[in-house]
A and B are shown apart, each in its own frame.
Chain A
Amino acid sequence: MEIPIVFFFVMYMLTLGAFFLGSAFVLYHAIKFGQASKLNTGAMSVYILVSVAMISFSLWYASIIDWASSIDLIVAFELIFL
């Protein structure tokens, strides 16, 4: 059973959407209810910077992939479990 690997990229983009939504809620709480302290602003900055770095890396990685190929799940299963 072959699945185009672009399917996994679409799944990843959906996951990314959920991540953005979760981040927006958490950052909203940090800004609305948190204090204007070094700890809060520092943690917020680190969170945003690391998130941007991870997402940038994933998008760069996606740009160098040949999306025309597909993956055989049975072969993958056999390679791992048999």
Chain B
Amino acid sequence: MLHVHHLPNQAPDEHLVLLLRRHPFIILGEIVKYTLIASLPFFVRFVLEQRASDFFEQGEFVVVSMFLFLAFELFIWLLLYRAFIDYYLDVWIVTNKRIINIEQIDLFHRRFSEQKLFRVQDVSSVQKGIMATLFDYGNVSVQSAAEQARFEFEQIPHPNDVARRINELIEHNKHVNPKNHERVDGG
């Protein structure tokens, strides 16, 4: 298991500043979606009772529909838990030295990447849409040196505060390790 107090390849003077996940509204949306899908068989049963009430008088049909129902609900339950794992295992960690991006893209596709703070050149936040504005979540983009990939913190709560905090850490890092920044800036 991942322990936030034991970061991967942790430097002696490194400590955790932010541990970020997607906004809880995102997983709530998944729960609502799967609850609606799980309730579909009840709707089908209601329609069948209206259209073909004889269907439920045949014992064998009830047995078969019951097993179909149970199989369907089991898979919806599995998909809901999988959505939770997908939500839970997407983590962005900000320490006083680096940014770590851990993404569970699919069940067998996991990405781990990190970026030293002194390499970061630009941090920006985006809140797009009604829900994102209402619930205060959005994306934070971390742009490093041109040849490096861009980090994207997706649908995290309080993106503006997070972007400001990362900028503060970068500024603090500049004072602590000016040589690193001079090297990146070409100074």
Contacts and interface: CB of A to CB of B under 8 A. Distances in A.
Contacts of A50: 77
Contacts of B3: 35-36
Contacts of A75: 58
Main secondary structure of the interface of B (DSSP, over half): helix
Given A26-B107, A79-B54, A58 B67 contact: yes
Contact of A58 (B1, B52, B70): B70
B60 A70 contact: yes
A33 B2 contact: yes
Interface stretch (B82-90, B147-155, B167-175): B82-90
A35 B85 CA distance: 11
25 contacts: A5-B64, A8-B67, A8-B68, A9-B67, A12-B71, A19-B74, A22-B78, A26-B107, A29-B89, A32-B1, A34-B2, A34-B85, A35-B1, A35-B3, A36-B1, A36-B3, A39-B88, A47-B77, A54-B74, A55-B74, A58-B70, A70-B60, A76-B61, A79-B54, A80-B51
Interface of B: 1-4, 48, 51-52, 54-55, 58-61, 63-64, 66-68, 70-71, 73-75, 77-78, 81-82, 84-85, 88-89, 102, 104, 107, 110
